[in-house]
Amino acid sequence: MQNINLIFTELYLFSGICILLMLGVYVKNSFNKIYNLSILLLIGIIFVIYKNGLEKSGIFLDSFISDPLSNFVKILIAVSSIIILFTSKQFILDNKISKFEYPIIILLAILGMFFTISSNDIILFYLGLELQSLSLYVLASIDRDNLKSSESGIKYFVLSALSSGLLLYGCSLLYGFTGSTNFELIKNELTVENIGAIFAMVFILVGLSFKVSAVPFHMWTPDVYEGSPTSITNFFAVVPKVVGLAVIIRFMDVPFENILSDWQTIIIFISVASMILGAVAAIRQTNIKRLMAYSSIGHIGYILAGVATGTTYGYSSSLLYMTIYVIMNIGAFSCIYLMRKDGVYTEKISDLSGLSKKRPLLAVSFLIIFFSLAGIPPLGGFFAKFYVFLSVVESKMYILAIVGLMTTVISAFYYLKVVKIIYFDEAKTTFDELKNFPTNSTIFISCLILISFFLYPSVLNNVIFNLLG
């Protein structure tokens, strides 16, 4: 055991979880305290990760590694979870899902994600992924008296368990054909064409693309996003996607590096299909959470286009896209938290009509965030797409770039439709005036980042483009 400090983040998080769990059991009506303490715990984690250092090193027979990529993704997860917990508190209290286990299960999901990202070994990777998915099943059905929430939990559980089974089958095949569970050793073993390993890779890719809801395996996304409480949907739409992308990059970068051309074809197909479906299927949606679900499928398509290049530049541009996607989605869902009329949260897009007259500030925030999601130039979303397409064109994958640009235009239609409803339709409903400081400030900050990204793109770029060095 050379250096236990490498795993200190996870130890810190798990001890925190245990203490919070005990507090929750013995202190009466402890939701507020546990919730705030969880946020505090996550803020502490950022500092712990920050001290981790930049060199790559592993412990536990090299099954757990700490490197710049994992540290960056962990910080991204911690920050986005803090903001999500921060903004969704009002929603949770209003919808009476304020059980003290809520933040604890979110923390356990984050623990699983940390292990998944840091794993350099198939077994650890699978265990981490299961810890994460198991928490997400519970979270999806946490509003257990609501039929839709329970349904989404069951649906997610059944489909995700199937995909986990396929993933595990792939892992066992990979072990059988290479004789090792360690990523580095698998990479050394897979230098020549190996049909069995390609078979295994397909199964692993199926499992992973289910987790990021890429197209042939996206069926659960709209239903689960619609059924779960909005605070959980927000978490689903942001955090597991970051993990999924990081793990896909890790798999493509380390164990499957030598069979590049084989997995590239699959990723290109998944990417193109996601982009097309995300653009076309969202057009007819009337529920804003379903719209966000299809939008996230489309965005995953663009992100995977960067991965498909197989170059370090492509991976980095995907990570940059993911970071900006996280900012946009947190902003969008914070806006959705403010859609409340007469004490009931609404999800219909038609309820937004004429918002510009009554709540001009909220309307402008919707405008900025949806323009950014559509990828309209000076905003952050444009630069995310710009870097991804740049890397795609540099790798001479013109078809991928052309499909991407076309679907961007198509998807702009439904984003602009929402903006049109907000600005040009007749006002019908009035939302409650919510004094919700965390949500308002989050909307303000995310809009600010999206608007001003083009002034200092190097702040984020320098960090991300040096990760995979």
Partner 1 sequence: MLAHTFFFYFFSGIAIFSALMVITSRNTVNSVFFLILDFISVGCLFIMVGAEFLGMILLIVYVGAVAVLFLFVVMMLNVAQQKQSWFIGKKSTHIPSGLIVAIIIFMELLVVIGGWKYKDNVSNSSSLVIDKDISNTHAIGSVMYTDYILYFQLSGIILLLSMIGAIILTYRRRENVKTQSYFKQISREKASSIELKEVDFNKGVKIDD
C-alpha 322/C-alpha 241 separation (Å) is 8
The number of beta carbons lying within 10 Å of the beta carbon of residue 372 is 29
Distance in Å, CB of 129 to partner 1, minimum: 11
Helix (H, G, I), strand (E, B) or coil at 65: strand
Closest CA to 198 of 178, 218, 168: 178
CB–CB of 323/464 below 8 Å?
yes
Distance in Å, CB of 57 to partner 1, minimum: 15
Q: Residue 6's Cα: distance from chain center in Å?
A: 24
Considering the complex, state which of residue 134 and residue 282 has its C-beta at the smaller distance from partner 1: 134
Distance in Å, CB of 180 to partner 1, minimum: 12
Considering the complex, state which of residue 31 and residue 321 has its C-beta at the smaller distance from partner 1: 31
Burial label for 455, CB within 10 Å (0-12, 13-18, 19+), is exposed
Considering the complex, state which of residue 103 and residue 207 has its C-beta at the smaller distance from partner 1: 103
Distance in Å, CB of 430 to partner 1, minimum: 36
Distance in Å, CB of 149 to partner 1, minimum: 10
Considering the complex, state which of residue 104 and residue 308 has its C-beta at the smaller distance from partner 1: 104
Phi, psi of 62, rounded to the nearest 5 degrees: 65, 20
Q: Residue 183's Cα: distance from chain center in Å?
A: 24
Considering the complex, state which of residue 64 and residue 366 has its C-beta at the smaller distance from partner 1: 64
CB–CB of 240/224 below 8 Å?
no
Q: Provide the residue count of the chain.
A: 469
- Quick one: which H or E segment has residue 16? helix 8-26
Residues interacting with partner 1, by CB under 8 A? 7, 14, 21, 60-61, 63-64, 99, 101, 104-105, 108, 111, 115, 123-124, 127-128, 130-131, 134-135, 137-138, 141-142, 144
Distance in Å, CB of 224 to partner 1, minimum: 16
Considering the complex, state which of residue 9 and residue 365 has its C-beta at the smaller distance from partner 1: 9
Tokens representing 355 are 């918002």
Distance in Å, CB of 349 to partner 1, minimum: 31
Residue that is written with structure tokens 């057009």 in the block = 283
Considering the complex, state which of residue 68 and residue 128 has its C-beta at the smaller distance from partner 1: 128
Distance in Å, CB of 157 to partner 1, minimum: 10
Distances (CA, A) of 108 to 15, 83, 102, 321: 11, 17, 10, 26
Distance in Å, CB of 227 to partner 1, minimum: 15
Q: Residue 197's Cα: distance from chain center in Å?
A: 28
Distance in Å, CB of 123 to partner 1, minimum: 5
C-alpha 434/C-alpha 140 separation (Å) is 26
C-alpha 254/C-alpha 312 separation (Å) is 12
Considering the complex, state which of residue 36 and residue 150 has its C-beta at the smaller distance from partner 1: 150
Helix (H, G, I), strand (E, B) or coil at 19: helix
Residue that is written with structure tokens 């809009």 in the block = 447
Distances (CA, A) of 369 to 42, 325, 327, 328, 415: 26, 10, 9, 6, 9
Tokens representing 391 are 């890397």
Considering the complex, state which of residue 5 and residue 287 has its C-beta at the smaller distance from partner 1: 5
C-alpha 134/C-alpha 26 separation (Å) is 25
- Residue type present at position 331: G
Phi, psi of 347, rounded to the nearest 5 degrees: -125, 5
Considering the complex, state which of residue 67 and residue 130 has its C-beta at the smaller distance from partner 1: 130
Distance in Å, CB of 433 to partner 1, minimum: 33
The angle formed by the CA atoms of residues 334, 339 and 341, to the nearest 5 degrees, is 150
Considering the complex, state which of residue 149 and residue 436 has its C-beta at the smaller distance from partner 1: 149
Helix pair angle (288-308, 220-227), 10° resolution = 140
Considering the complex, state which of residue 133 and residue 334 has its C-beta at the smaller distance from partner 1: 133
Distance in Å, CB of 77 to partner 1, minimum: 17
